Amino acid sequence: MTALLLTEADVREVLDMESCIAAMEDVLAALARDELSLPLRSIFVPPGEALMGLMPAYRGGTDPVFALKEIVVAPANSGRGLDPHQGTVLLHDGVTGVLRAILNASAVTEIRTAAVSGAATRLLARPGARHVAILGAGVQGRSHAQAMRTVIPDLELRVWSRTPEHAEALALEAHGLPCDTVEEALDRADVVCTCTASREPLVRRSWLAPGAHINAVGSSVASARELDADVVADASLFVDRRESTVNESGDYLRAVEERGIGPDHIRAELGELLAGTHPGRRSDTELTLFKSLGIAVEDLAAAVLCVDRARERGIGTEVDF
């Protein structure tokens, strides 16, 4: 038997943002219909700055498949000119267990994470939203600029980074404006994407415009957060998965401690909106928040799409395994 090996370049060649957004919408709706299974990810944190996560998922049906993403998160990689996410996505036949494909996880994670934020923005940003702020100018900042332009074609973009040169570079690349402060970037912003490695809040409630929508992406562990507790407590909170949020989200857990919110503060999962079981935003002045953690079914769906397209186009390398 052979397995298809897809490098970072291969993944980028076959996985465009618009198609990935559609795939994320499909898989999250299917998750809401209980058509996929996944446990909480397992996170191994040894001494040092890096950690390893294991993220398995299963899709049944006529073409059952197992997926496993093994990912090392090394925050200091940003200063090394490397993606902080390094790893692979493995696809196995859901009946026989035979390995079908091995994919570069950096590219999969980069694109599918921003694609989910794109889906959330379509669902939750108020009609006519145009002003977008991106905080963080690394890998996810760049991919979120692409995702936001995909769902809001005529947007006006502002970019902030702790490193001004990075903000300037991304603003130039994404046809936006660099900002000196977070508050400046958030001024009149209809949509905010937080894509940083911050351990402490960057976004204050008083800096947000009425009716803004936030995609909170950078904080994916319990010990980090990008939003102050008032933002989380005052917002209508939407998530990729409830179980992940109440166990893993620092933004949520600190608001539990500081503002006394609980699990019932979570309005809905994105999949429930996509499946039509929840209405989402209720007014133009409502503050909406999508807390992104990234879940394994998203990697499964992106990997399956990559493999199908690669085999159609003759991209990648078949290896004996």
Spatial CA neighbour of 145 closest among 217, 68, 232: 217
For residue 82, the model assigns a pLDDT of: 84
Helix residue ranges per DSSP H, the chain = 8-14, 17-32, 77-80, 105-124, 139-151, 164-174, 182-186, 229-234, 242-248, 250-259, 270-274, 296-313
pTM score, two decimals? 0.96
DSSP 39-87: PPPEEE--SSS-EEEEEEEEE-TTS-EEEEEEEEE-TTHHHHTS-SEEE
Contact of 196 with 166, CB cutoff 8 Å: no
What ranges do the domains of the chain cover?
2-109+297-320, 116-294
C-alpha span between 84 and 106 (Å, rounded) = 8
Contact of 87 with 70, CB cutoff 8 Å: yes
For residue 85, the model assigns a pLDDT of: 84
Two structure tokens written together for 196 = 């940083």
| Nearest-10 crossing angle of helices 105-124, 17-32 | 70
Residue 31: DSSP 8-state: H
Spatial CA neighbour of 92 closest among 116, 70, 121, 59: 59
C-alpha span between 17 and 227 (Å, rounded) = 26
C-alpha span between 91 and 105 (Å, rounded) = 12
CATH of domain 2-109+297-320: 3.30.1780.10
The fold of 116-294 is Rossmann fold (3.40.50)
Q: Which stretches of the chain drop beneath a pLDDT of 70?
A: none
What percent of the chain is predicted at pLDDT more than 70? 100
C-alpha span between 125 and 291 (Å, rounded) = 14
Q: pLDDT for 181-209, tens place per residue?
A: 999 999 999 999 999 989 899 999 999 99
Residue 43 pairs in a beta bridge with 53
